Amino acid sequence: MTTNNTQFVSKLPDIGVSIFSEMTLLANQYNALNLSQGFPEFDTPEYIKGRINHYIKEGMNQYAPSPGLPKLQNAIASLIKNNYQVDINPTQQVTVTSGATEALFVAIQTIVKPGDEVIVFDPAYDSYQPAVTLAGGKTVHIQLNYPRYRVDWQQVQQKITSRTRAIIINTPHNPTGTVLSSDDLAQLSKLVESHNLYLISDEVYEHITFETPHISALQIASLRERAFVIASFGKTYHCTGWKLGYCIAPPALSSEFRKIHQYVTFSSFTPAQAAIADMIEQHPEHVNTLSEFYQQKRDYLIGALNNSRFKILPCQGTYFLLLDYTAISNINDREFCNWLTKEHGVAAIPMSVFNQSNQCDNVIRLCFAKNSDTLKLAAEKLCQL
């Protein structure tokens, strides 16, 4: 059989290569400091590396059970109990996935039917919309506005229709660094309850918050009953390349989720699951020190940029800092990031790509999960502009 490319109808006609791949490629091409794609420059802890080596040598190299290794499911349930004082059933409610990306994709396929609407907040993480589109649904975008990027819940209420199936939230929020407050979650819970909606809560930066604490959807009973709460070990244990995450949902929703998960990937990398389970159990202090670790980096970068012409926006969580470059240039943020990478050796992410409307606030995102030397060098270059 031959395929005729000219007749091929794309299921994702508007999607190109992700901005993260694009900017990392450009950074490498121009030998620029890569503060664009979000990944730590430092390594995963030695303890985890030792454990994964141990399990590989021991022969733990075959499929894990599809929902996850029981020892990791148990460790996740105890992590949840310690952090959020909530009891979840590890066997029925925790599904280990190949990164948060898989969990988001599967959660969306689980609940979205053709014609359904899903509310997302722009700037929105790039994987939500394609997953909704592939499920036959439609994303309804609500723009968060410069410089505070807070949710107006009345506006959300107005966007809810009889076709609305779910709301996707991301707290702490990539790229704006905002964190939803208890008041935000109370308003959200009223809406999802009264309109009988599902919630997908992307909490991959749950352990990286600064002055404002993170509140999980798991901590609010009315949300917990209708939520898929999604997390990533990549962020928490500096191992984004291991692609390991999980989804917590009520038993009935988890069982639907697992029907799809088993045909997307069946199971995730077995030795990494065992190694992470040991890390959670043996080094519970790691998650408690993460915020302080990143706060030092955030504050260092803010201090080093003090004399620059960038306006620094507040950052309550995540490892991303937003900079407004209005005083430096009036070109759009994509052009600005290209120029910055090629001419000044610092790669960043333009924020408008996360807005369906392409609204450009003249804001770029820097990832500060980097060593001090890199942050220092990057700040020196940025201060010259």
Which of 101, 308 has the CB closer to ligand PMP? 101
Q: Does residue 36 touch ligand PMP according to CB under 6 A?
A: no
Site residues for ligand GLN, window 95-134 (CB under 6 A)? none
Q: For residue 243, what are its two tokens?
A: 């692609």
* Residue 20 interacts with which of ligand PMP, ligand GLN, none, CB < 5 to 8 Å by class: ligand GLN
Instruction: Annotate each residue in 140-179 with x if it binds ligand GLN (CB under 6 A) or - if it does not, as one string.
Output: ----------------------------------x-----
Question: Closer to ligand PMP at the Cβ: 204 or 215?
Answer: 204
The total of other beta-carbon atoms located within 10 Å of residue 65's CB is: 13
Q: In Å, how far from its chain's centre is CA 208?
A: 12
Is there binding between residue 352 and ligand GLN (CB under 6 A)? Answer: no
Nearer to ligand GLN, 205 or 210 (CB): 205
Among candidates 294, 353, 379, 291, which has minimal Cα distance to 35?
379
CB of 124 to ligand GLN, least distance (A): 11
Write each residue from 9 to 28 as x if it is in contact with ligand GLN (CB under 6 A), else as -, in one continuous string.
---------x-x--------
Residue 37 interacts with which of ligand GLN, ligand PMP, none, CB < 5 to 8 Å by class = ligand GLN
User: Applying CB under 6 A, does 204 fall inside the site for ligand PMP?
Assistant: yes
Closest CA to 226 of 250, 247, 246: 250
How near is the Cβ of 70 to ligand GLN at its closest, in Å?
29
Beta bridge partners of 192: none
Q: Which is nearer to ligand PMP, 268 or 352 (CB)?
A: 268
Q: Which residues bind ligand PMP (CB under 6 A)?
A: 38, 99-101, 125, 170, 174, 202, 204, 232, 234, 240, 243, 245
